[in-house]
Amino acid sequence: MKIGIINYSLGNVGSVLSAFNFYKTDAKLVSQPSDIDQCDLVVLAGVGNFKTAVDRLKSSGFWERLNQAVTMEGKTLLGICLGMQLFADLSFEGGSQPGFGWIKGKVIKIDDKSVRIPHMGWNKVQAFDNNIFQGMHQQYFYFMHSYHFVPEDKSVVVGTTKYGNTDIVAAVRHKNIIGVQFHPEKSQGDGLRLVRNLLEEIKC
C-alpha cells in the first residue's frame, strides 16, 4: 500500500509522515500532483488559514488533481484539521472562500466566550464509527483550531467533541473521504491506533 502525504508547505507534514511510518508503511511526502497517481491513500493535512491553503493547492496544481482523485477515481483521502475543513462548500475565515465541496456545509469560527479561542489541547471524542475508532481506551485527541466544520448532512458525522458550550464535529466520513478535526499525529496512543485502523480497513 502506498500512502502520499500532500506537501504544500502548510502544516507539520513531517509528524504525519512519522505517524504512518510507525507502522512500517510505504508512506512519503508528495510534492508533485502526478505523484498521487500511485497512491492508495492520500493524506491532506494542514494548519493555518483556509484561503492560504486553497491558494497554495491551486498554484501547485494539487487542487485540480485532488478533486479528480476523490470525485472521479474514488481514491481514499484522509483530511486532518484544516485538511478536513477544505471538504466544505464554504469557509468564512477571513471572508467567504469556497472549498472543495465534497461535503456540503460551512466552516465557521467557534463563537463561545466561555472558553479560550483557539481550541487547543486534549478533548474526549464521542465516536459513532466503530471502524476507525475501534480498540481505543479513552478516545482523547489533540485539537488546535479556531474554526470548525458544520456539515449540512449530519449522517456524515462520525465523531464529536464538546468545547465550552459548542458542539464540535471531530470526524466526518463520506464515501471515500474521512476527515478529522484533531491531530492524530499529536494524539499519542489513540492517534496511532486511528492510523492503524485506517490502514487495516484499506487493506481489506
Q: At what angle do helices 50-59 and 62-71 cross, to 10 degrees?
A: 90
CA distance linking residue 127 with residue 131, whole number of Å: 10
Strands 105-109 and 147-151: antiparallel
State yes or no: is 81 an active-site residue.
Answer: yes
Q: Which three cell numbers stand for residue 153?
A: 448532512
Catalytic: which of 39, 81, 93, 145?
81
- The CA distances from residue 141 to 29, 111, 182, in Å, are 24, 21, 6
Catalytic residue among 39, 93, 145, 185: 185
Note whether 139 and 192 are within 8 A (CB): no
CA 92 to chain centre: 18
> Which amino acid belongs to residue 126?
Q
Q: Give the residue carrying C-alpha cell 489541547.
A: 121
- CA–CA separation, 34 and 119 (whole Å): 35
Active site (annotated) includes residue 183: yes
CB 74 within 8 A of CB 132: no
The single residue of 64, 145, 183, 204 carrying the catalytic annotation is 183
Our answer to whether residue 64 is catalytic in this structure is no
Catalytic residues: 81, 183, 185
